[in-house]
Amino acid sequence: MKQICVIGVGYVGIVTGACFADLGNKVIALDVNQERIENLNKGIMPIYEPGLDELVKRNMQAGRLSFTTDYAEAVEGSEFAFIAVGTPSGVNGEADLQYVAAAAKSIAQNMTEPLIIINKSTVPIGTGDWVADIVKREQKKPVEFSVVSCPEFLREGSALSDFLHPHRTVIGSFDRDAANKVAQLHLPLRAPIVITDLRTAEMIKYASNAFLAAKISFINEIADICEAYGADVKEVAAGMGYDARIGHHFLDAGIGWGGSCFPKDVLALAYMAEAKGLDPRMLNTTLDINYDRRKAVVSRTAELLGGSFKGKTIGLLGLAFKPNTDDMRDAPAIDIAQELTASGASVRGYDPVAMDVARKILPAVEMFENPYAMAKGCDALIVVTEWNEFKQLDLAKVKILLKSPVIFDGRNIYDTATMKAMGFTYRAIGR
């Protein structure tokens, strides 16, 4: 049984902690947010993630997983310390490393035995070396340590399964022995292991996220061309995807990407490139195409309503940036709701799990307890998040409840012919 501490109990930290505990390790997970730790000790999860509650409770009961705010308690006796704190966008798009710096400092000040410090947060190229400098500087007495990069590739909404069945484990370090020990820890995941240097591992993470974001922006550009010429982007994507060099994944055209990662990571990579005098045209275009999607949803819905939102009520089906999460960070729903409100519309919202989070961000949006209550009296609905429950809505009932039967399907979840046959004024993406 290895002892591991995980620093930062957010989306990545809690999943990392719970999964490593489930794999038979002893895990102490630490956060500076006292309320979060108190809640976890009472069995209240900080985030919504399918399967997490059960996994955390089972491992707490088995004595393999515990939570603390005390760095000395977390670091003492641990062989590995995972840093999984946030790296949000700074004012110019750069990654803000203040939380990583604070975590490195606190680890250094509390370590008394050799430790492998593993960076799981997504950090700019060179951060591993910088963390090593912080640790060296802040140690009370010299204790052996290594810094290893082991970026995380999980997606919210399917985080447990992604963590436990990764496509690959990337490990970057100049210390081969430390890299091998980290590889050993990941062996039960049975994924290919890529061992490389620190900077390359850090870059693999950014390049992967940027590529996926670009793939989505690409299909969204194709969607607009499909729409202009009468082709169907869903079928185009399916037809393209059979080519193994292209693949079926991440070709869903729609409102575009949001969330806590693609937006900040594409921005941070572009910032890194520009800082070295490069011109990251592809990254900048990927961003531009994406953020234009949100404006296009609003202008295309306006067209369905005769050009103006004045006095109109619009209902948003889904608020989270993707299904199966309550994460509202850079969710397209935020920009869409604000743009609608600025254009004179009254905006309503419904989301199966994200409404509590959304209320704080979108106070002007009236929240409803189910999609039917929201639809009653609306001039139009916009599908913002493709939650499964929206795919099985009683659309005949929705049509009766709406003031005018207008649906803008921003995630292509309904069938065009069916919607038209039912008498909806229906517009989707790229079809």
Q: Does 12 bind ligand NAD (CB under 6 A)?
A: yes
Q: How many of the chain's residues bind ligand NAD (CB under 6 A)?
A: 27
Q: Counting beta carbons within 10 angstroms of the beta carbon of residue 266, is it exposed (0 to 12), middle (13 to 18) or buried (19 or more)?
A: buried
371 binds, among ligand UGA, ligand NAD, none (CB under 5 to 8 A by kind): none
Provide the minimum distance between the beta carbon of 155 and ligand UGA in the complex, in angstroms, as a whole number. 4
The answer for 315, left when phi > 0, alpha when psi is -120 to 50, beta otherwise, is beta
Q: Would you state the structure tokens that stand for residue 365, as one six-digit string?
A: 């949006």
Instruction: Please give the helix or strand (H or E) that residue 381 lies within, else none.
Output: strand 380-383
Q: Does 10 bind ligand UGA (CB under 6 A)?
A: no
DSSP 71-91: HHHHHTT-SEEEE-----B-T
Strands of 104-254 (E only): list them: 115-119, 145-149, 169-172, 193-196
Instruction: Report the residue number whose CB is nearest to ligand UGA.
Output: 261
Binds ligand UGA by CB under 6 A, chosen from 154, 287, 334, 353: 154
Q: Does 9 bind ligand NAD (CB under 6 A)?
A: yes
Q: Would you state the structure tokens that stand for residue 130, as one six-digit string?
A: 């910088």
Binds ligand UGA by CB under 6 A, chosen from 31, 94, 156, 202: 156
> Which residues, 71 to 110, sit near ligand NAD by CB under 6 A?
84-87, 99, 102-103, 106
Binds ligand NAD by CB under 6 A, chosen from 25, 66, 78, 121: 121
Q: Does 287 bind ligand NAD (CB under 6 A)?
A: no
In one-letter notation, the amino acid at residue 373 is A
Binds ligand NAD by CB under 6 A, chosen from 5, 11, 212, 267: 11
DSSP 342-375: HTT-EEEEE-TTTHHHHHHH-TTSEE-SSHHHHH
**Residues 201-240 as x/- pattern, contact with ligand NAD by CB under 6 A:** ----------------------------------------
Residue 274 to residue 356: CA distance in whole angstroms: 38
Q: How many residues does the chain have?
A: 431
Provide the minimum distance between the beta carbon of 237 and ligand UGA in the complex, in angstroms, as a whole number. 8
29 binds, among ligand NAD, ligand UGA, none (CB under 5 to 8 A by kind): none
Using the minimum distance from each CB to ligand UGA, give the nearer residue, 237 or 401.
237
Q: Counting beta carbons within 10 angstroms of the beta carbon of residue 281, is it exposed (0 to 12), middle (13 to 18) or buried (19 or more)?
A: exposed
Q: In this structure, are residues 401 and 375 in contact, taking their beta carbons and an 8 Å threshold? A: yes
Name residue, tokens 């491992």: 59
Q: Does 20 bind ligand UGA (CB under 6 A)?
A: no
250 binds, among ligand UGA, ligand NAD, none (CB under 5 to 8 A by kind): ligand UGA
Taking the CA of residue 223 as centre, how many other CA atoms within 13 Å lie in the half-sphere pointing to its CB?
26
Provide the minimum distance between the beta carbon of 29 and ligand UGA in the complex, in angstroms, as a whole number. 19
Active site residues: 261
254 binds, among ligand NAD, ligand UGA, none (CB under 5 to 8 A by kind): ligand UGA
